[in-house]
Amino acid sequence: MNAVRAPIPVRRRQTVSRLALNRVALAGVGAPFPEIAIPSTEGRWQGLWGQVADLFEERVGARETRRRLLHATPGLLPFLLWAVPHDPPSSTRFLAVISGLILALATIAYYQFGRVQRSAEGRRDVIEAVFGYASVVLAAMLLCAQHVEVAFAALAVLAFGDGSATLGGMLMRGRRLPWNPKKSIVGTVCFVLVATPMAALVYWGQAHDVYQAAGLPRVDLRMALLGALAAAIAAALVESLPVRTNDNVRVGTTAAVVIGLFQWLAVGWV
């Protein structure tokens, strides 16, 4: 068997050598060679980005995309505080500055809401959507002034979870919820998957500062994930209910209550 297979590599080398000689000879007389186009990585990414943009345009639209961005923007406030020096969270100055900032953002959103307003929404719906959003966060922050992480985590659930539910449901669609045909299972799952890590990061980061200032061990990230998961599931279920009014108030309130209970039962109050 070895004697039969031995000549095969020699023949292949000879064939390759002949092809190489022929190519050199043809190149010498100026004969053109066909070029094989190999798609670049940049071209593939551009094609993928184009498909995603087309999907957004078809199923979501520019107006609803801007609405989702407007809805999620306030949720960036706790992360901004990580980089900006500020007074202790329980101080009167801190609460006054953050409250004023939230009211200013709500006012700007109200006057800019016409750009993202849906055709079926009236002025009352806009007021409920914008100021209901802000009032829940303000109430939670003032009621839990010693633990603003509760209010900020509720803000993260409202900003990122509620917005992701609408966006995920419109993009991926899928089966509807048995108790609400206007909501999809995919949207509810997106709510929990996005709200849980974002709220956990906000809660963990802010609670760490509070407990460190009090000289106590910092809150573990796994503990923060458990509290955020409980709040996200409860808020997602409330968001999916077949209620016609704007869901910002009930979603934010549910998240704040669950996180507050978790703080009291599992973590404790400083």
Establish if 57 belongs to a structural domain. no
Asked which of 11-25, 49-63, 199-213 is least confident by mean pLDDT, the reply is 11-25
Residue 258 is part of which domain span? 62-267
Average pLDDT over residues 190-198: 96
Quote the CA–CA distance of 205 and 219 in Å, as a whole number.
Answer: 9
Q: What is the pLDDT of residue 26?
A: 46
Q: What is the pLDDT of residue 133?
A: 93
Establish if 189 belongs to a structural domain. yes
Establish if 187 belongs to a structural domain. yes
CA distances (Å), origin 157, targets 24, 32, 69, 190, 244: 67, 63, 15, 12, 20
Question: Is 195 within 8 Å of 157 (Cβ atoms)?
Answer: yes
pLDDT at 233 over 50: yes
Establish if 194 belongs to a structural domain. yes
- The DSSP element (H or E) to which 25 belongs, if any, is helix 7-28
Answering whether pTM is above 0.85, one says: no
Establish if 195 belongs to a structural domain. yes
Phi, psi at 139, each rounded to 5°: -65, -45
pLDDT > 90 in the chain, percent: 37
Give the up-direction half-sphere exposure of residue 32: CA atoms within 13 A in the CB hemisphere.
Answer: 3
Instruction: Render pLDDT for 91-141 as a digit per residue (tens, 0 to 9).
Output: 899 999 999 999 998 998 888 888 888 777 788 888 888 999 999 999 999
Question: Is 139 within 8 Å of 61 (Cβ atoms)?
Answer: no
Instruction: Render pLDDT for 151-177 as a digit per residue (tens, 0 to 9).
Output: 999 999 999 998 888 888 877 778 899
Higher-confidence residue of 224 and 28: namely: 224
Establish if 86 belongs to a structural domain. yes
Among 62-66, 85-89, 150-154, top mean pLDDT goes to: 150-154
Number of domains making up the chain: 1
pLDDT at 4 over 50: no
Q: What is the pLDDT of residue 69?
A: 86
Establish if 33 belongs to a structural domain. no
Establish if 190 belongs to a structural domain. yes
Q: What is the pLDDT of residue 237?
A: 95
Q: What is the pLDDT of residue 263?
A: 87
pLDDT at 247 over 90: no
Among 36-45, 171-180, 216-225, 226-235, top mean pLDDT goes to: 226-235
